[in-house]
Amino acid sequence: MSQAPRAITIVGASLAGLNAAEALRREGFDGPVALIGAESHLPYDRPPLSKQVLAGDWEPERAALTDSEELEEDGIEARLGVRATALDLAAHELTLHTGETVAFDGLVIATGARCRTMPGTEGLDGVHVLRSLDDCLALRADLEAMPQRVVVVGAGFIGAEVAATARGRGLDVTLVEALPTPLSRVLGDEMGQVCGEVHRDHGVDLRTGVGVDRISGDGRVQQVTLSDGSTVDADVVVVGIGVIPNTEWLDGSGLEMGDGVLCDASCLAAEGVTAAGDVASWPNELFDETMRVEHWDNAAQQGSHAAGGGTVHSGALVLERPVRPQDPAGRPRPRRRRGPGGDGIGRGAAFRGNLRSSRTHHRGARVQPAPSRDALPGTDRAAGQFRRGPRR
């Protein structure tokens, strides 16, 4: 049996990272806990970035998951604006971008993922991705300038939500999706078709079954060329075509990599090292395969489990129970640890409207029917968001 660690470092000041730190304190770990984050912001909730914050209904502070006072009370040291650049597994040391080395006894990796980008858009103003708070604020500034045409590439959750929010601002929006049906990978074809029609009903120019060949402009984006040869004028483009797990800093560390950090069913990647959230790839018993799950619930549950369940801070450094199986479509959902304003963050949806079909199931997820359009508050100003069951 290994000696219980004296100090635990969490890399990634994310939802998963914060939940890991809090779980350690909840379960009685009284040694030093350091939370290292590449962003300068304290941990915040990501779902409002494509909805309330982007719409201007919330200021960024409202999306915060904690504050400095709470962290200080819990004895959690937050080191923000600091990136981990290397891991020496044998020496139990991290290297930071400043050149500093940090020794640890236990490590939780919660570095999340970053957005995929379109080739040739580097340095082209008006082209955005949406992952971080800074991404959100930059895009919000462009939308507040009332551009003539917004093009959203990718009709997944992020793309659908951004399109709905932009329409809510009264902007002309084209939503481009390579698959025949938007959101079909997570909601199924039938529900995806309903969602697409809701978007069209609210004035979104939805184009499906067509990809993007090129995004072009002279200093600033001007045009999007589609794979069918057609073009769409654009003053703002938002690219939502998936994410890549942030694992490059772990190259040569001795950890096993695949699509993320490979873990066992308890989130353990190596002795004293766990991974949680979007960066973790683990055996999901629900589908009998190893996968990453990019979902709010998964990040929250895995963060708590990877640290507080015993994996990192127990003497054996091995967890006896596996992490709870998680559906990529997002069920079940845990109770929120904190809800700014009591608004149920993370439950926002991609559209608003009246679903005429009762419900649909996809890989274990149930989408709940919405109330009628007249019963929904704010439908006169927020185009294209319906209420459904728990999401990412």
Judge whether residue 365 has pLDDT over 90: no
Digit-coded pLDDT (tens) for 70-104:
999 999 999 999 999 999 999 999 999 999 999 99
Closest CA to 186 of 50, 75, 177: 177
φ, ψ of residue 330 in degrees (nearest 5): 110, 20
Average pLDDT over residues 281-286: 90
Average pLDDT over residues 265-269: 93
In which element (H, E) is residue 240 found?
A: none
Give the percent of the chain with pLDDT over 90: 74
Average pLDDT over residues 187-201: 97
Beta-bridged to residue 107, according to DSSP, are: 9, 273
Determine the pLDDT at residue 307.
87
In which element (H, E) is residue 310 found?
A: none
Judge whether residue 23 has pLDDT over 70: yes
Judge whether residue 314 has pLDDT over 70: no
Average pLDDT over residues 321-337: 44
Q: Tell me, what DSSP letter sits at residue 181? A: S
User: Using CA atoms, how far apart are residues 347 and 366, in angstroms rounded to an integer?
Assistant: 14
Q: Where do the DSSP E strands lie in 89-144? A: 93-96, 101-103, 106-109, 113-115, 127-128
Mean pLDDT computed over every residue of the chain: 83
User: Using CA atoms, how far apart are residues 51 and 225, in angstroms rounded to an integer?
Assistant: 27
Strands 268-270 vs 101-103: parallel, antiparallel or unpaired:
unpaired
Digit-coded pLDDT (tens) for 158-169:
999 999 999 999
Q: Tell me, what DSSP letter sits at residue 278? A: G
The answer to whether residues 350 and 194 touch, using CB atoms and an 8 Å cutoff, is no
pLDDT band at 382 (very low <50, low <70, confident <90, very high): very low
**What pTM value is reported for the model?**
0.81
Determine the pLDDT at residue 287.
86
Query: Can you list the domains of the chain with their CATH numbers?
Result: 8-114+244-308 (3.50.50.60), 117-241+349-375 (3.50.50.60)
Determine the pLDDT at residue 309.
55
Residue listed under structure tokens 């000041």: 13
The answer to whether residues 109 and 299 touch, using CB atoms and an 8 Å cutoff, is no
pLDDT band at 291 (very low <50, low <70, confident <90, very high): very high
Determine the pLDDT at residue 100.
97
Beta-bridged to residue 243, according to DSSP, are: 115
User: Using CA atoms, how far apart are residues 71 and 48, in angstroms rounded to an integer?
Assistant: 22
Q: Which two tokens stand for residue 72?
A: 């200080």
Average pLDDT over residues 261-279: 95
Candidate from 183-187, 254-258, 334-338 with smallest mean pLDDT: 334-338
In which element (H, E) is residue 167 found?
A: helix 157-168
Beta-bridged to residue 236, according to DSSP, are: 150
Q: Which two tokens stand for residue 30?
A: 């009284």
User: Using CA atoms, how far apart are residues 97 and 113, in angstroms rounded to an integer?
Assistant: 18
Strands 205-208 vs 212-217: parallel, antiparallel or unpaired:
unpaired
pLDDT band at 325 (very low <50, low <70, confident <90, very high): low
Give the percent of the chain with pLDDT over 70: 77
pLDDT band at 285 (very low <50, low <70, confident <90, very high): confident
Digit-coded pLDDT (tens) for 133-160:
999 999 999 999 999 999 999 999 999 9
Determine the pLDDT at residue 116.
97
φ, ψ of residue 374 in degrees (nearest 5): -65, -25
pLDDT band at 326 (very low <50, low <70, confident <90, very high): low
User: Using CA atoms, how far apart are residues 139 and 148, in angstroms rounded to an integer?
Assistant: 15
Average pLDDT over residues 316-333: 43
Determine the pLDDT at residue 370.
30
Average pLDDT over residues 172-192: 96
Prior bond of 332 cis (ω within 30°): yes
The neighbour count for residue 104, using CB atoms within 10 Å, is 23
Residue 189 CB-density burial (10 A; 0-12 exposed, 13-18 middle, 19+ buried)? middle
